[in-house]
């Protein structure tokens, strides 16, 4: 079986009446897409609920998201996950956007309902569940600092924290105009969360970290060995919770993970989010609880095999 299919493959199946066995009923679309572990997470769950269908990867170039989604809906797909770089394009490609996805500014899950494309976001609620699982508390109890509060993931997490009643939110982004714009946006709807921007430099971060409970890395830094630790040395303590949205093959620690371990801080990485956003997508598609332990096992095995 190839790592991924293309829109041409789908068109050919449609024209010739071909199908996979079991038939493709769910997919993740993105560019690139061959690395996605979502099939290994979702296919065991589909088998567990007895669905005669499989989850595949489809390579979809920028600018063709709507065409792809409509083609898949016509072919009997139940749902589609949307990943980099299409989460914004998908917002305009669907027939209806769930209010939370609209507020978070991105669609990462599409459900086909009566032939209509309905867009959801499972990253935000997946983040909340991940925090609960990893740290045994929820964001209403935590002062949160988000690094990368200008990119798609950092934005979704920041907005979700404010919606979840986080008392204090510190927004950090290399390009500061973006974190300032996000601060204004969050303040326009959230009465209870105090939002501040913090500059991306050692002195500013060092000054604010004693007033932070949860540190979230929503940047793409930390995946490579050569990525430097961007938290000032010796500024993490065992009182901090650290959530790196990035993860590395084979469960290797990210640079932030290494700093958290050295400080004895509670830590989790992007694998937790991958699992919980996947489970919530499953719930949008099937409107039933996801077999989370089966999904966790499939994902863990796939990541360890990398």
Ligand X SMILES: NC(=O)c1ccc[n+]([C@@H]2O[C@H](COP(=O)([O-])OP(=O)(O)OC[C@H]3O[C@@H](n4cnc5c(N)ncnc54)[C@H](OP(=O)(O)O)[C@@H]3O)[C@@H](O)[C@H]2O)c1
Binding mask 229-268 for ligand X (x = CB under 6 A): ----------------xx----------------------
Query: How many angstroms separate the CA atoms of 153 and 103, rounded?
Result: 13
Q: Which residue is nearest to ligand X (CB)?
A: 151
Should residue 208 be labelled a site residue for ligand X when binding is judged by CB under 6 A? no
Task: State the catalytic residue, choosing from 37, 62, 87, 178.
Answer: 87
Alpha-helix runs per DSSP H in the chain:
7-16, 38-48, 65-74, 89-93, 99-104, 123-135, 152-163, 176-189, 202-208, 255-262, 270-286, 292-304
* Interface with ligand X in residues 165-204 (CB under 6 A): 173-175, 178
Residues 6+ apart with CB under 8 A from 27: 55, 56, 57, 58, 72, 77, 80, 81
Q: Closest CB to ligand X among 77 and 247?
A: 247
Residue with tokens 């919980």: 276
108 and 82 Cβ atoms separated by less than 8 Å: yes
Should residue 218 be labelled a site residue for ligand X when binding is judged by CB under 6 A? yes
First to last CA, the chain: 18
* Interface with ligand X in residues 8-67 (CB under 6 A): none
Tokens of 158: 């920041």
Q: Closest CB to ligand X among 58 and 246?
A: 246
Should residue 151 be labelled a site residue for ligand X when binding is judged by CB under 6 A? yes
Query: How many angstroms separate the CA atoms of 244 and 230, rounded?
Result: 12
Should residue 146 be labelled a site residue for ligand X when binding is judged by CB under 6 A? no
Should residue 221 be labelled a site residue for ligand X when binding is judged by CB under 6 A? yes
87 counts as catalytic? yes
Chain contacts with ligand X (rule: CB under 6 A): 84, 123, 148, 150-154, 173-175, 178, 218-221, 245-246, 270, 273-274, 277
- What amino acid positions are annotated as catalytic residues? 87
């Amino acid at each position: 079986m190839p790592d991924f299919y293309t829109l041409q493959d789908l068109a050919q199946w449609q024209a010739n009446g071909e199908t996979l066995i079991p038939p493709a009923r769910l997919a993740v679309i993105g560019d690139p897409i061959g690395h996605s572990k979502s099939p290994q997470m979702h296919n065991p769950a589909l088998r567990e609920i007895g669905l005669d269908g499989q989850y595949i990867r489809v390579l979809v170039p920028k600018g063709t998201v709507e065409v792809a989604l409509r083609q898949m809906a016509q072919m009997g797909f139940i749902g589609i996950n949307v990943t980099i770089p299409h989460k914004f394009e998908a917002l305009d490609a669907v027939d209806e956007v769930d209010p939370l996805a609209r507020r978070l500014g991105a669609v990462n899950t599409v459900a086909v309902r009566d032939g209509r494309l309905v867009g959801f976001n499972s990253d935000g609620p997946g983040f909340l569940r991940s925090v609960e699982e990893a740290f045994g508390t929820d964001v209403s109890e935590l002062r949160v600092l988000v690094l990368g509060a200008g990119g798609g993931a950092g934005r979704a997490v920041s907005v979700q924290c404010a919606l979840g009643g986080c008392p204090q939110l510190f927004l950090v982004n290399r390009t500061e105009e973006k974190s300032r714009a996000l601060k204004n946006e969050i303040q326009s709807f959230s009465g209870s969360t105090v939002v501040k921007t913090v500059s991306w430099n050692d002195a500013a971060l060092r000054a604010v970290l004693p007033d932070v409970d949860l540190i979230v890395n929503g940047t793409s830094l930390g995946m490579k060995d050569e990525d430097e630790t961007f938290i000032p040395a010796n500024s993490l303590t065992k009182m901090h919770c650290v959530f790196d949205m990035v993860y590395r093959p084979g469960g290797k620690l990210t640079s932030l993970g290494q700093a958290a371990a050295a400080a004895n801080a509670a830590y989790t990485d992007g694998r937790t989010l991958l699992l919980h956003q996947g489970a919530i997508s499953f719930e949008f598609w099937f409107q039933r609880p996801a077999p989370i332990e089966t999904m966790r096992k499939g994902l863990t095995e796939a990541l360890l095999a990398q």
